[in-house]
Every structure is written in structure tokens, then in C-alpha cells.
A and B are shown apart, each in its own frame.
Chain A
Amino acid sequence: MHLSASAKGFMMMRPASLLACAAMICAPGASAGEQEPLRPVTVSYMAGGGTAHVTDAYLAPFSTTGWGTAFIYERSQALKSRPDTWSRLLSVELSLSRTHRNNTSNGTMWGAAVDVEAAALRRFGQLPCGLRLAVGPSAELLAGAYYRPSNSNNPAAARAALTVGVTGRAALGVNLFGLPVDLSYRPSLQLLGAFFAPSYGQLYYEIYEGDSDNLCRFAWPGKRLSYSHLLAADLCFGATQLRLGYSLRLLTQEASHLSVNAATHLFVIGITTDFMTLNRRRDADSGIARRIAYSF
């Protein structure tokens, strides 16, 4: 069985089932690199809960605080064209929040959004200290709304943005009381793009009637900045890892003399596991060793 050096370095953190699976399709004595490597998909499902802080001056000129919750799906895989150095990452987050003015229980504001981020990460191998690093460009699509039922003709403010930025990842494998733990930190900073914002006193009815001038704004760090990170610990109990983490999402934007500031702090819990698709006819009958290229 032949495994690349980089893959061997990561094997201690991977489920035993994956090893067995890989071994099944590897014939002794075959040379590595003659076929494309196997590229397992690492998937995480997370649910989170915590606090949300929202200010949307279109709806109300004050900050609101309350709870936030989210469901996060994350998927990563080594790139087919450059499996040893590049990975792709997809993250989908569905979030819901309910906030109100700090000292009053009325004026409730609901927030809901779907956030899709795709990134290509350049891996830099394993540093001497055991740290694995990756960084690369990313694109983020955000769609959602804030809703304040007590408002009359401005009860909702839509949110939409398409931005590009930088996403990174750092991970370190440690051993905690005999339990392998993979610590990871994944920050994302969205810098440029476009976002939706109505004018200062514009009605959505006017937009409905066709007044769509200047709704699409140029996003740059002076007008809109979005930062998020996920700090996670994957506890390797077996084939599936238990993930515990902290998710932070920050947004500040300004358009037409109105600001939107939002911050959510979520404690997340979930599972992480690897999937690998095998083509029985091609892989099992070839008799050629296949190495494994992990996404990270």
C-alpha cells in the first residue's frame, strides 16, 4: 500500500474505516501516482446557538440584542486538478435571530439569512510544529432580511450581498488525554463586491413600482466589511468526529446615511466525517494502488 507523505501525516487523525476502505482498493506492489488519488470529502454538520446583536438604521436607530441560532453545513475536498496543494471549501449557513431593544421587550426584530461561501484553499503542507495552513480566495453570497413587525410601511429590510475575499484555515492535531483532537481555525474576510441597500427613506413599495436606481452598491472595506470565523475542536472518537466550536460573524455596512451592524456569537456542536465515493469497476478491478489526498 502506497500513501503519499502528506497523506501519511494526516492519517493519524482520520477514521480507521477510511484506512480499511483505502486498503481494499490498493494492490501490493503497484506504483503510486499512476491514477488520480482518492479525494475523500470531509463534511461537517453543525447546529449553533448564542447571542445576536443587530442594528439596522432603516428599521430603528438603536441596537438590539437577543438570541441567534444557525445550522451550518461545511464540505471540503481536495481539488481534482491539484489534489496535493489545493482544496475547495463550501459552507452553507442558515441563521435565525430574534432581538429587541436592551431594556424593553417590545420592538422585536427578527432576522433570517442564508449564507453560502465557496473558497479555494492553497495548502502549505505541514509546518515543523505540526501546524497545517491554507489560504485562498473565496466568494460569499448572502440573502436574508430583518423584520420588525411593529413598523408600519418599513417593516422589513432585505439583505443581499455577493462579495469576494480571503479565507484561511489553520489546524493542529493534538492528543488530549489519549484522545486525538484536531483544532482548527477558519477565518473569512469579505472585502469587495456588491450589496443591496435601499435609499435613506425609500419605500419597498417604490421598489416594487420599479424605482430600482442605486439599489446595488459597491462593497469595499470603507462601506461594507464582513468577517467570520469558526474555531473548532474535532474530537476523534471513531469514524465520526464530534465537533465543538465557536462561530463569530461580524458585519458592518453603510449606505445612504444608514448603517447596518450585526454580530452573532454562537456555540456550535456537530459532527465531522469523511466520505469517499468508489467506482467498483474502475477502482476495485484496476489493481493499482491509490493514494489519498485529503482536503486539509
Chain B
Amino acid sequence: MNITRRLIAACTTLTALAGCHNAGIIDEPDTAEGNFRALWEIIDTRYCFLDKQGVDWDSVYTVYAPRVGSSISSYQLFRVCSEMLNTLRDGHVNLSSPFGASYYRGWWDGYPANYDSRVVTLGYLRGDYQQMGGITYGTIQGTGVGYMHISSFESAPGEGNLDFILNQLSLSPGLVVDVRDNGGGMLTAAQTIAERFISEPVTGAYLCHKTGPGHNDFSEPRAVTFTPPAGHILWSKPVILLTNRSTFSAANYFAAFMRTLPNVTQVGATTGGGGGMPFSSSLPNGWTVRFSACPILDPRGELVEDGVSPAPDNEINFDLSESARGCDPILDRALDLLLHPAE
């Protein structure tokens, strides 16, 4: 009997100790108010740039919550939630619903395009170019300068592909690496290409993450080491990196690293940023929300969320009339720097 009592006491204690954990779980109903509160809480606890962006998230709640009533339609709720998320001014914050996805466009739509692919491929490469693994490459006609446009980092090019491209351009006096209009993709893809421009292991970036729901609960930044691939072709000649406002996310990560190399010069416009690795979560009604969760720092330890800028001398913007004339002033500046480095 004594043993039985002890067993019951032990089981009771265990049950009380364990219970059912609920940390990180949001208990909101699938109503307009419930979904709104869930979205607000997800951003409040997991978004990584609230303080950096200077957003008073509690105030945002008081502004938008009164617009959400029980009679609001799903589409109206989506609009209110989208507007609330846009206060974060972050291109990595999206709300996906059956109606579509919200998207903060302010990071690029108020800026010059600064890029027209047809001007480059038809005007500068004169149609003599190749495309492989998302990379368009060739030689700028009349100059011998190598040109490589990386349109996306959605997938990493093969090491063999990169060997072939760099070998084809090996006689060039310099290389233009163009990541304008590159909206990003995988960090590993950006890293694979960036590692062709170094000769020894270096710190490529720092990553940190949130360690708790507080706005300033962050881990110590941890270095990401870039290592040149053994047995493959590496590029050590001068490089001009072209960027525009639509250089975003993984392309921004790539640019933030490349511009720190001694043989690389950035030309063009400030990149669009996107220096926070996005996570996803969902609302009670099934809508998916994506948000920046892990801040990325450049090799100098600086946040790159607001983009990276070229030196003032190399910051160039142009309007559509230049493109209409077949000119690309950013590429012209790159060629000038490569062909006349002393000037």
C-alpha cells in the first residue's frame, strides 16, 4: 500500500512538472481579431529589426487594432494587416493569403531602375554572350573586359560552370560582376561565387539570431568563413561590382562581402538591403507571414539591412532616357575604372 501511494505521488509530481508546454504557441481563435492579434504577436516576438527600424510596435497595435472588427471581411483584414506590416519598411516581410501576398515596395519603387538588360546584351555585348546557370557572361565588345551578370541566387552554379566561365574570361584585364536586379536567393549560392574572388579563407559575414521573444534578445554574432575552393579557378584581377536598388537579400549579402575585397570596387547605386534572413510562420486562418528573423552583418560587423553603398565617386544613377539611347552610365563608369585605372 505504501508503494502504491508512492507511485501515485510520483506520477502526480511528474504530471505537474511536465504538463503540456506552451512556450511559443499562440492561442488565438480563427476570427478577424484573433488573426490580427496573432500576426501582431508573431512580429512582436520574432521579428529582428523592431528596435533597429525605430518602430514602436505597441503604438502600431493601437493604430490598427480598432480597424479590425468582427464584421470585417477577410479581404479587408488582409488589407489592414498588410498596411500594418508595411510600417516595418522591410522587403522581407510578406503576408500571403488566397488574395495574394503583401509586399513592401518602398525599398525600390522610389528609386531609379539603373539597369536595362537589353542595353547590356545588345549594346555592350553586341549579342555575343552565353548564359549558364543563371549567369550571363561575355566580353564587352571593343574593350576585352569580361562581363558577368548574375540574375539570381536561387540556385548555386556548379563549380565546373564557374571554372568554365572564369576560364573563358581569363584573358580579360578585369571583370565586371553585375548583380543589378538580383533579388536574392540562397546565401550558399552567393557564397559559392564569392569564394572564387579570394585566395585564402576569410570572414565573409557575421550571423546572429534571436534567442528569445524580447526585442533585443540576440545571440553573439558568429563569423561565417568563406574558403576558396581547392583545385578550381580563382579570380585575382580587378573586379568592378555593379549594384542597384534591386540588389536585394542574398545579392545584398554578396555585395556586402565583395566590396570589402581589395581588388573589388562597387559602382552604381546603394543596394536594396534585405539584411535579415527571413523566417515564416502562419496565422490561425492559414495565411503565411514571412519576416526577417536573423540579422546579417558584413565582414566589418555592420548591419546590411539598409543596403550597402558605393563610394561617393562611384555612386551613379541614371534615368530611362539614357537606356533609350543605348547607354548604361554605371557600366560605362566600370569600364572607365578598369581601362583607365590611374585616372
Are A206 and B209 in contact (CB-based, < 8 A)?
Answer: yes
The 7 closest A-B CB pairs, nearest first, are A104-B286, A57-B24, A201-B210, A254-B21, A225-B18, A259-B21, A151-B280
Chain A positions 146-172 with a Cβ under 8 Å from a chain B Cβ: 148, 150-155
Q: Which residues of A contact B255 (CB under 8 A)?
A: none
A-B contact pairs, 5 of them (CB 8 A): A201-B209, A202-B209, A211-B219, A221-B14, A225-B14
- Whether a CB of chain B sits under 8 angstroms from the CB of A103 is yes
Chain B positions 277-298 with a Cβ under 8 Å from a chain A Cβ: 277-282, 284-286, 288, 290, 293-294
Q: Which residues of A contact B213 (CB under 8 A)?
A: 200, 257
Q: Which residues of B contact A257 (CB under 8 A)?
A: 23-24, 212-213
Which partner residue on chain A sits nearest B293 by CB separation? A201
The listed residue (A62, A148, A201, A221) touching B17 by CB distance below 8 A is A221
Chain A positions 200-233 with a Cβ under 8 Å from a chain B Cβ: 200-203, 205-206, 209-211, 221-222, 225
Are A60 and B282 in contact (CB-based, < 8 A)?
Answer: yes
Within the assembled complex, what's the spacing in Å between the Cα atoms of A259 and B302? Answer: 33
Within the assembled complex, what's the spacing in Å between the Cα atoms of A191 and B14? Answer: 9
- Whether a CB of chain B sits under 8 angstroms from the CB of A175 is no
Which partner residue on chain A sits nearest B24 by CB separation? A57
- Whether a CB of chain A sits under 8 angstroms from the CB of B188 is yes
Are A154 and B222 in contact (CB-based, < 8 A)?
Answer: no
- Pick from B14, B21, B23, B285 the residue with the most CB of A within 10 Å: B21
- Whether a CB of chain A sits under 8 angstroms from the CB of B20 is yes
Are A211 and B211 in contact (CB-based, < 8 A)?
Answer: no
Are B282 and A107 in contact (CB-based, < 8 A)?
Answer: yes
- Assuming A61-B38, A259-B22, is B286 touching A153 (CB within 8 A)? no
- Assuming A206-B207, A252-B19, is B219 touching A199 (CB within 8 A)? yes
Q: Which residues of A contact B230 (CB under 8 A)?
A: none
Are B23 and A221 in contact (CB-based, < 8 A)?
Answer: no
Are A252 and B20 in contact (CB-based, < 8 A)?
Answer: yes
The listed residue (A152, A191, A252) touching B290 by CB distance below 8 A is A152
B103 to chain A minimum Cβ distance, whole angstroms, is: 14
Which partner residue on chain A sits nearest B279 by CB separation? A154
Within the assembled complex, what's the spacing in Å between the Cα atoms of A257 and B23? Answer: 5
Within the assembled complex, what's the spacing in Å between the Cα atoms of A60 and B288? Answer: 9
DSSP class of A's interface residues: helix, strand, loop or mixed?
loop
The listed residue (A61, A209, A252) touching B18 by CB distance below 8 A is A252
Interface size on B, residues (CB 8 A): 42
Q: Which residues of B contact A199 (CB under 8 A)?
A: 209-211, 219
Chain B positions 19-69 with a Cβ under 8 Å from a chain A Cβ: 19-26, 30, 38, 42, 46, 48
- Whether a CB of chain A sits under 8 angstroms from the CB of B187 is yes
Are B294 and A206 in contact (CB-based, < 8 A)?
Answer: yes
- Whether a CB of chain A sits under 8 angstroms from the CB of B322 is no
- Assuming A101-B284, A152-B290, A209-B224, is B24 touching A258 (CB within 8 A)? yes
- Whether a CB of chain B sits under 8 angstroms from the CB of A286 is no
- Whether a CB of chain B sits under 8 angstroms from the CB of A65 is no
- Pick from A191, A200, A211 the residue with the most CB of B within 10 Å: A200
Are A259 and B23 in contact (CB-based, < 8 A)?
Answer: yes
- Whether a CB of chain A sits under 8 angstroms from the CB of B217 is yes
A56 to chain B minimum Cβ distance, whole angstroms, is: 9
Are A103 and B285 in contact (CB-based, < 8 A)?
Answer: yes
- Extra 7 A-B pairs, beta carbons < 8 Å, given A61-B25, A206-B222: A55-B25, A63-B25, A155-B280, A200-B210, A201-B209, A203-B294, A259-B25
- Whether a CB of chain B sits under 8 angstroms from the CB of A4 is no
Q: Per-residue 0/1 for B227-267: is the Cβ within 8 Å of any A Cβ (1 yes, 0 no)?
A: 00000000000000000000000000000000000000000
Are B207 and A209 in contact (CB-based, < 8 A)?
Answer: yes
Within the assembled complex, what's the spacing in Å between the Cα atoms of A61 and B25? Answer: 4
Within the assembled complex, what's the spacing in Å between the Cα atoms of A257 and B25? Answer: 9
Are B290 and A222 in contact (CB-based, < 8 A)?
Answer: no
Are B23 and A203 in contact (CB-based, < 8 A)?
Answer: no
- Whether a CB of chain B sits under 8 angstroms from the CB of A106 is yes
Q: Which residues of A contact B294 (CB under 8 A)?
A: 153, 201-203, 206
The listed residue (A61, A101, A104, A253) touching B21 by CB distance below 8 A is A253
B326 to chain A minimum Cβ distance, whole angstroms, is: 39
